[in-house]
């Protein structure tokens, strides 16, 4: 790819920066008949583009690569050295819109597949989901950092233009009438006007920044306007059908021109000028506003607000973020592992950086040293790593057939698993040494296994010919059938240590049931809309489960039975584990060299 520079354009004539799917280009609006300069070439599918003029940074989103990238752009003279492309944000789905906050130095983007609007630092760090509800097909996004507002279009079932504070507050729908495909969006900062293009109704309209005072600017002969930008008295827009950039007078819509044509695939467009990014003072520019992490501009006094990366809570001082999430939902999908913070209401799933997962099934977590453990049915192994993907190890690799259930004893530092291929329940040290078969008789299809290390019990389900839930001591002795009636495929099992209850989910009877740990008081908790429960876990007041048919993770409050979706429409869901990241209960013991058991203090909550 190339990274070139142009001599400055004549005064009053802007440079237009546009995305062309295969490249990003600059064209001088006064000499649009001339060839455009390729700023970055060799791209896959560049859709949205923006820049931070003062720092010479150009950003673009690539829908095929599902990423946002940037390069440095130097206007010091012709033929400057090609700058490196760096990936700033990865793991996106369809990043259709992108906007740079040049005052607060942040990056905002829309994703029309995950239906989220997010923000991050300019280097892509400290990602935060700002909006995740009532979004359908969010596309264009524009910022007004001087006033602390952001604007975006949504061309979904209910087409609309919304505005909100750049800190995620004060969200409001400002245009929802006579709107169908609102593609382009731009702001006139000096006149305090909002302009947008509608590709279905073939118009460009403007309004006041709050959506009032709506006026027609251009009507008719707009085949498919896509993106919109503005400079002084002139509007510019790209059109998919004409493969051109057009312009007109912003006030009257007159003096229409075709500025630049024969474009391969014109997408987003911006006037590339310092005038479009006036350098005002920002409350975030001094000491990051006193914030430990994100300092976001706001329309309300003091015109900024501290915020944390997704899933992390802000402490009561309203400045400092916690070290990380305190409660996590860990999820095994067939070919990846994910984590979802339960501390914040957005329930954003983040893929863990673990390699070569072929068919993960069961998952558990050790809150004492922070390892996540999982079984893989395809490589026939039990593996572990830290949450950041480091220290990845194979723990058990021999005589593993179909390891469907796994459980960590965080006190005695052992690992238990069920194997429906070998029909055994086994135990090993957490590092894979000292392996022992605990139960090998009268097991048909053992699946879920959970432990109560303080009381010294293990519980497991068996979905074989005679479905049952059993209990034994942690050494496999004192085996006892707890439930063997009205069961079908008891896939999930969870213990409530506080209330001394056992919960289970059945994929054949399509029920979630509960009973006391002594086997008494059995009752149904949920019995509707449970087509195929698989993974199952409990933390605090909630029972969580995965459902194969609904492709969802749901939770239910164990007392009120109120339900809510955590994730909807995610295929290949397997096991899951809700856990405190650091907090445990009960003491764990270590053996000293003279074989005395010494109690260790509980880790801090």
Buried b (16+ CB within 10 A) or exposed e, 110-119: bbbebbbbbb
| Beta carbons within 8 Å of 162's beta carbon, 6+ residues apart | 151, 152, 154, 171, 172, 173, 174
| Pairwise CA distance, residues 31 & 15, whole Å | 10
Considering 3-12, 353-362, 591-600, the range whose residues carry the highest mean pLDDT is 353-362
CB burial of residue 316 (10 Å; 0-12, 13-18, 19+):
exposed
- How high is the pLDDT of residue 587? 52
DSSP state of 126: S
pLDDT in tens, 107-149: 999 999 999 999 999 999 999 999 999 999 999 999 999 999 9
How would residue 354 be classed by pLDDT, with cut points 50, 70 and 90? Answer: confident
| Pairwise CA distance, residues 398 & 253, whole Å | 74
Does the pLDDT at position 453 exceed 60?
A: yes
Nearest to 297 by CA among 109, 97, 147: 147
- How high is the pLDDT of residue 36? 84
- How high is the pLDDT of residue 91? 82
Q: Is the peptide bond before 109 cis (omega within 30 degrees of 0)?
A: no
| Pairwise CA distance, residues 369 & 379, whole Å | 25
Does the pLDDT at position 75 exceed 50?
A: yes
Q: Which residue in this structure is represented by tokens 């400002």?
A: 174
The mean-pLDDT minimum among 73-87, 341-355, 425-439 falls in 73-87
Compute CA distances 373 → 391, 409, 431, whole Å.
12, 12, 11
The mean-pLDDT minimum among 100-114, 166-180, 254-268, 439-453 falls in 254-268
Tell me the sheet residues that pair with 528: none
CB burial of residue 466 (10 Å; 0-12, 13-18, 19+):
exposed
Provide the 10 A C-beta neighbour count for residue 84.
10
CB burial of residue 353 (10 Å; 0-12, 13-18, 19+):
middle
Q: Which long-range contacts (CB under 8 A, 24 or more apart) does 562-567 make?
A: 563/526, 566/329, 566/340, 566/347, 567/340, 567/347, 567/349
How would residue 83 be classed by pLDDT, with cut points 50, 70 and 90? Answer: low
pLDDT in tens, 475-522: 999 999 999 999 999 999 999 999 999 999 999 999 999 999 999 999
Q: Which two tokens stand for residue 205?
A: 């309209």
Rounded mean pLDDT of the chain? 91
Global pTM reads 0.86
| Pairwise CA distance, residues 114 & 492, whole Å | 29
Does the pLDDT at position 235 exceed 90?
A: yes
| Pairwise CA distance, residues 380 & 422, whole Å | 12
pLDDT in tens, 379-421: 999 999 999 888 999 999 999 999 999 999 999 999 999 999 9
DSSP assignment string, 475-526: TS-S-EEEE-SS-S-EEEEEEETTTTEEEEEETTTTEEEEEETTS---EEEE
| Beta carbons within 8 Å of 11's beta carbon, 6+ residues apart | none
CB burial of residue 582 (10 Å; 0-12, 13-18, 19+):
middle
Q: Which residue in this structure is represented by tokens 């819109």?
A: 97
């Amino acid at each position: 790819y190339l990274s070139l520079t142009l001599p400055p354009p004549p005064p009053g004539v802007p440079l237009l920066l546009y995305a062309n799917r295969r490249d990003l280009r600059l064209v001088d609006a006064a000499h649009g008949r001339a060839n455009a300069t390729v700023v970055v070439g060799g791209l896959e599918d560049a859709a949205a583009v923006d820049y931070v003029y003062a720092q010479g940074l150009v950003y673009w989103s690539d829908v095929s690569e599902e990423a946002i990238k940037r390069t440095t752009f130097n206007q010091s003279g012709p033929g400057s050295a090609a700058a490196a492309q760096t990936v700033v944000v990865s793991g996106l789905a369809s990043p259709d819109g992108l906007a740079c906050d040049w005052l607060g130095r942040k990056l905002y983007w829309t994703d029309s597949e995950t239906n989220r609007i997010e923000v991050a630092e300019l280097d892509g760090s400290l990602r935060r989901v700002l909006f995740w509800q009532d979004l359908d097909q969010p596309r264009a996004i524009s910022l007004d950092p001087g006033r602390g507002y952001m604007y975006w279009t949504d061309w979904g079932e209910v087409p609309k233009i919304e505005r909100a504070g750049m800190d995620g507050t004060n969200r409001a729908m400002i245009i929802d009438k006579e709107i169908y495909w609102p593609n382009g969006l731009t702001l006139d900062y000096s006149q305090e006007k909002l302009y947008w293009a509608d590709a279905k109704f073939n118009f460009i309209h403007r309004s006041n920044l709050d959506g009032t005072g709506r006026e027609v600017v251009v009507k008719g002969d707009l085949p498919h306007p896509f993106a919109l930008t503005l400079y002084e008295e002139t509007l510019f827009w790209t059109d998919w059908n004409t493969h051109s950039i057009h312009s007109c007078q912003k006030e009257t819509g007159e003096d229409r021109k075709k500025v630049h044509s024969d474009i391969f695939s014109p997408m987003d467009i911006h006037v590339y000028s310092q005038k479009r990014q006036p350098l005002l003072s920002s409350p975030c520019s001094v000491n990051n506003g006193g914030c430990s992490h994100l300092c976001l501009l706001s329309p309300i006094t003091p015109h900024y607000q501290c915020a944390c990366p997704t899933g992390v809570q802000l402490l009561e001082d309203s400045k400092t973020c916690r070290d990380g999430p305190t409660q996590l939902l860990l999820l095994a999908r067939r070919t990846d592992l994910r984590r979802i913070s339960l501390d914040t209401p957005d329930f954003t799933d983040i893929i863990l950086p673990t390699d070569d997962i072929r068919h993960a099934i069961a998952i558990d977590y050790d809150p004492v040293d922070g390892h996540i453990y999982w079984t893989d049915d395809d490589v026939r192994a039990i593996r572990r790593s830290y949450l950041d993907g480091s220290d990845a190890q194979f723990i058990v690799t021999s005589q593993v057939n179909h390891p469907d259930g796994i459980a960590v004893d965080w006190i005695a530092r052992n690992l238990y698993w069920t194997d429906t291929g070998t029909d055994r329940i086994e135990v090993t040290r957490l590092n894979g040494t000292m392996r022992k078969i605990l139960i090998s008789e009268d097991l048909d299809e053992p699946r879920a296994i959970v432990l109560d290390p303080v009381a010294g019990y293990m519980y497991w389900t068996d979905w074989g010919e005679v479905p049952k839930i059993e209990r034994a001591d942690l050494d496999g002795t004192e085996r006892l059938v707890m439930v063997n009636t009205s069961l079908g495929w008891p896939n999930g099992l969870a213990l409530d240590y506080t209330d001394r209850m056992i919960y289970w989910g059945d994929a054949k009877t399509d029920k979630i049931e509960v009973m006391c740990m002594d086997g008494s008081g059995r009752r149904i908790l949920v019995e509707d809309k449970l087509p195929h429960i698989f993974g199952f876990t409990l933390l605090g007041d909630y029972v969580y489960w995965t459902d194969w048919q609904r492709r969802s993770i749901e939770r239910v409050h164990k007392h009120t039975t109120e339900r809510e979706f955590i994730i909807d429409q995610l295929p290949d869901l397997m096991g899951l584990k809700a856990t405190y990241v650091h907090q445990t209960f009960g003491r764990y013991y270590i053996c000293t060299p003279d074989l005395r058991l010494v109690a260790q203090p509980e880790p801090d909550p």
